[in-house]
Amino acid sequence: AAYVAEVNAKGETIASRKASQNALGALGPLLPEILGGSADLAGSNLTIWKGCKSITGEDPNGNYLHYGVREFGMGAMMNGIALHGGFVPYGATFLIFMEYARNAVRMASLMKKRVIYVFTHDSIGLGEDGPTHQPIEQLTSLRTTPNLDTWRPADAVESAVAWKHA
Protein backbone atom coordinates (compact mmCIF):
# COMPACT_ATOMS: atom_id res chain seq x y z
CA ALA A 1 0.00 0.00 0.00
CA ALA A 2 2.85 2.38 0.81
CA TYR A 3 4.49 1.75 -2.55
CA VAL A 4 1.22 2.38 -4.43
CA ALA A 5 0.76 5.66 -2.51
CA GLU A 6 4.35 6.66 -3.33
CA VAL A 7 3.85 5.99 -7.05
CA ASN A 8 0.56 7.90 -6.99
CA ALA A 9 2.22 10.89 -5.31
CA LYS A 10 5.01 10.96 -7.93
CA GLY A 11 2.52 11.14 -10.78
CA GLU A 12 5.09 9.97 -13.34
CA THR A 13 4.15 9.33 -16.93
CA ILE A 14 6.30 6.33 -17.89
CA ALA A 15 5.87 3.20 -19.98
CA SER A 16 4.01 0.45 -18.13
CA ARG A 17 6.96 -1.92 -18.60
CA LYS A 18 9.21 0.63 -16.84
CA ALA A 19 6.56 0.98 -14.12
CA SER A 20 6.56 -2.81 -13.81
CA GLN A 21 10.35 -2.82 -13.42
CA ASN A 22 10.07 -0.12 -10.75
CA ALA A 23 7.46 -2.21 -8.91
CA LEU A 24 9.73 -5.26 -9.04
CA GLY A 25 12.56 -3.13 -7.68
CA ALA A 26 10.42 -1.93 -4.79
CA LEU A 27 8.66 -5.21 -3.99
CA GLY A 28 11.40 -7.71 -4.84
CA PRO A 29 13.54 -7.06 -1.76
CA LEU A 30 10.43 -7.51 0.42
CA LEU A 31 9.46 -10.79 -1.26
CA PRO A 32 12.29 -13.33 -1.09
CA GLU A 33 9.93 -15.91 -2.61
CA ILE A 34 9.67 -14.07 -5.94
CA LEU A 35 11.55 -15.86 -8.70
CA GLY A 36 11.38 -15.03 -12.37
CA GLY A 37 12.76 -13.59 -15.53
CA SER A 38 12.13 -13.14 -19.22
CA ALA A 39 12.01 -15.25 -22.37
CA ASP A 40 15.17 -13.64 -23.75
CA LEU A 41 13.58 -10.18 -23.88
CA ALA A 42 14.75 -8.70 -20.56
CA GLY A 43 16.06 -5.57 -22.26
CA SER A 44 12.63 -4.91 -23.74
CA ASN A 45 10.43 -6.31 -20.95
CA LEU A 46 12.53 -4.58 -18.29
CA THR A 47 12.39 -7.53 -15.90
CA ILE A 48 15.90 -7.09 -14.52
CA TRP A 49 15.60 -5.03 -11.37
CA LYS A 50 18.10 -3.61 -8.90
CA GLY A 51 18.81 -6.35 -6.41
CA CYS A 52 17.94 -9.31 -8.60
CA LYS A 53 20.61 -11.95 -9.07
CA SER A 54 20.87 -14.33 -12.01
CA ILE A 55 20.71 -18.06 -11.40
CA THR A 56 23.64 -19.73 -13.15
CA GLY A 57 25.21 -23.15 -13.32
CA GLU A 58 28.00 -21.89 -11.09
CA ASP A 59 25.72 -20.10 -8.62
CA PRO A 60 22.14 -21.33 -8.20
CA ASN A 61 21.43 -18.92 -5.33
CA GLY A 62 19.79 -16.19 -7.38
CA ASN A 63 16.23 -15.10 -8.02
CA TYR A 64 16.36 -14.30 -11.74
CA LEU A 65 15.96 -16.90 -14.48
CA HIS A 66 17.12 -16.42 -18.05
CA TYR A 67 14.47 -18.62 -19.67
CA GLY A 68 15.79 -18.21 -23.20
CA VAL A 69 13.72 -17.99 -26.38
CA ARG A 70 11.12 -20.48 -25.24
CA GLU A 71 7.84 -19.06 -24.06
CA PHE A 72 6.18 -22.44 -23.56
CA GLY A 73 9.23 -23.72 -21.69
CA MET A 74 9.14 -20.61 -19.52
CA GLY A 75 5.48 -21.18 -18.72
CA ALA A 76 6.03 -24.88 -18.01
CA MET A 77 8.95 -24.06 -15.69
CA MET A 78 6.84 -21.49 -13.85
CA ASN A 79 4.05 -24.05 -13.44
CA GLY A 80 6.54 -26.54 -12.02
CA ILE A 81 7.92 -23.94 -9.62
CA ALA A 82 4.39 -23.02 -8.50
CA LEU A 83 3.44 -26.69 -8.06
CA HIS A 84 6.59 -27.31 -6.00
CA GLY A 85 5.68 -24.42 -3.70
CA GLY A 86 7.72 -21.93 -1.76
CA PHE A 87 8.22 -19.52 -4.65
CA VAL A 88 6.07 -17.11 -6.65
CA PRO A 89 7.23 -17.41 -10.27
CA TYR A 90 6.96 -14.66 -12.86
CA GLY A 91 7.93 -14.53 -16.50
CA ALA A 92 7.79 -11.93 -19.23
CA THR A 93 7.53 -11.83 -22.99
CA PHE A 94 5.76 -9.78 -25.64
CA LEU A 95 1.99 -10.19 -25.58
CA ILE A 96 1.96 -11.65 -29.11
CA PHE A 97 4.29 -14.45 -27.97
CA MET A 98 1.72 -15.49 -25.38
CA GLU A 99 0.51 -17.72 -28.20
CA TYR A 100 3.56 -19.93 -27.72
CA ALA A 101 2.89 -20.14 -23.96
CA ARG A 102 -0.90 -20.50 -24.19
CA ASN A 103 -1.13 -24.11 -22.98
CA ALA A 104 1.09 -23.40 -19.97
CA VAL A 105 -0.91 -20.25 -19.14
CA ARG A 106 -4.14 -22.23 -19.40
CA MET A 107 -2.83 -25.08 -17.23
CA ALA A 108 -1.67 -22.68 -14.49
CA SER A 109 -5.12 -21.12 -14.53
CA LEU A 110 -6.96 -24.44 -14.45
CA MET A 111 -4.75 -25.62 -11.58
CA LYS A 112 -5.36 -22.27 -9.82
CA LYS A 113 -1.63 -21.77 -9.33
CA ARG A 114 -0.03 -18.43 -8.55
CA VAL A 115 1.98 -17.75 -11.68
CA ILE A 116 2.61 -14.17 -12.82
CA TYR A 117 2.88 -13.41 -16.53
CA VAL A 118 4.13 -10.00 -17.62
CA PHE A 119 3.13 -9.46 -21.23
CA THR A 120 4.57 -6.25 -22.71
CA HIS A 121 4.35 -4.58 -26.09
CA ASP A 122 0.58 -4.93 -26.18
CA SER A 123 -0.28 -2.32 -28.79
CA ILE A 124 -0.99 -2.69 -32.48
CA GLY A 125 0.54 0.75 -32.93
CA LEU A 126 3.87 -0.10 -31.32
CA GLY A 127 7.10 -1.43 -32.71
CA GLU A 128 9.17 -1.51 -35.82
CA ASP A 129 8.65 -5.25 -36.29
CA GLY A 130 5.32 -4.85 -38.03
CA PRO A 131 2.19 -7.00 -37.98
CA THR A 132 3.93 -10.19 -36.81
CA HIS A 133 4.51 -8.50 -33.46
CA GLN A 134 1.15 -6.73 -33.14
CA PRO A 135 -1.30 -8.51 -30.83
CA ILE A 136 -4.94 -8.40 -31.88
CA GLU A 137 -6.93 -11.17 -30.16
CA GLN A 138 -4.49 -12.15 -27.39
CA LEU A 139 -5.90 -9.90 -24.66
CA THR A 140 -9.42 -11.20 -25.28
CA SER A 141 -8.12 -14.76 -25.11
CA LEU A 142 -6.46 -14.09 -21.75
CA ARG A 143 -9.55 -12.38 -20.36
CA THR A 144 -11.73 -15.37 -21.23
CA THR A 145 -9.41 -17.91 -19.59
CA PRO A 146 -11.03 -19.33 -16.42
CA ASN A 147 -9.32 -18.42 -13.12
CA LEU A 148 -6.89 -16.01 -14.80
CA ASP A 149 -6.79 -12.44 -13.49
CA THR A 150 -5.85 -10.25 -16.44
CA TRP A 151 -4.68 -6.70 -15.89
CA ARG A 152 -3.77 -4.14 -18.53
CA PRO A 153 -2.39 -1.23 -16.54
CA ALA A 154 -2.73 2.20 -18.12
CA ASP A 155 -0.15 3.98 -15.99
CA ALA A 156 2.44 3.60 -13.23
CA VAL A 157 -0.16 3.52 -10.46
CA GLU A 158 -2.15 0.74 -12.12
CA SER A 159 1.10 -1.18 -12.72
CA ALA A 160 1.94 -0.90 -9.01
CA VAL A 161 -1.57 -2.05 -8.05
CA ALA A 162 -1.35 -4.99 -10.48
CA TRP A 163 1.93 -6.14 -8.92
CA LYS A 164 0.50 -5.68 -5.42
CA HIS A 165 -2.51 -7.80 -6.40
CA ALA A 166 -0.34 -10.48 -8.01
Whether this model's pTM surpasses 0.75: yes
CA nearest to 96, candidates 137, 66, 37: 137
| 44 close to 16: Cβ distance less than 8 angstroms | no
Per-residue pLDDT band for 130 (boundaries 50, 70, 90) equals confident
In a 10 Å sphere around its CB, with 0-12 CB exposed, 13-18 middle and 19+ buried, how is residue 24 labelled?
Answer: buried
Q: What pLDDT, on the 0 to 100 scale, is given for residue 127?
A: 65
126-158 burial: b if 16+ Cβ within 10 Å, else e = eeeeeeeebbeebeebbeeeeebeeeebebbbb
> Which residues pair with residue 51 across a beta bridge?
none
Contacts of 10 (CB under 8 A, 6+ apart): 156
State the amino acid at position 52 in one-letter form: C
Q: Distance between CA 139 and CA 117 in Å, rounded? A: 12
Which of 75-89, 117-131, 150-164 is modeled with the greatest confidence?
Answer: 75-89
CB 96 within 8 A of CB 135: yes
Between CA 117 and CA 77 the distance in angstroms is 12
| Residue range 2-165, CATH number | 3.40.50.970
58 catalytic, yes or no?
A: no
pLDDT in tens, 88-128: 999 999 999 999 999 999 999 999 999 999 999 888 776 67
CA distance 104 to 79: 7
> Catalytic residue among 12, 71, 99, 158, which?
71
